[in-house]
Amino acid sequence: MTKSKEKIQILRAKAEASLNKTAQLQQALAQLEATLTRKENQKVTEKSKKS
């Protein structure tokens, strides 16, 4: 019974770590997207000022 409990705890820890990594990846992707959007908006603004 103790081994089963230990296995469950190990699997739970692995699942939590996986969720944390997924959240970190989503955050990094969101930051990249925001940066790219800002740069694109800057280009559009610069072009519209030149016209």
How far apart are the C-alpha atoms of 14 and 29, rounded to whole Å? 23
pLDDT at 51 over 90: no
Question: pTM for this one?
Answer: 0.69
**Would you place residue 2 in the very low, low, confident or very high pLDDT band (cuts 50, 70, 90)?**
confident
What is the chain's mean pLDDT, rounded? 94
pLDDT at 17 over 90: yes
How far apart are the C-alpha atoms of 23 and 44, rounded to whole Å? 31
Helices in 1-51 by DSSP H: which ranges? 2-50
Given this model, what pLDDT does residue 1 score? Answer: 63
Three-class SS of residue 51? coil
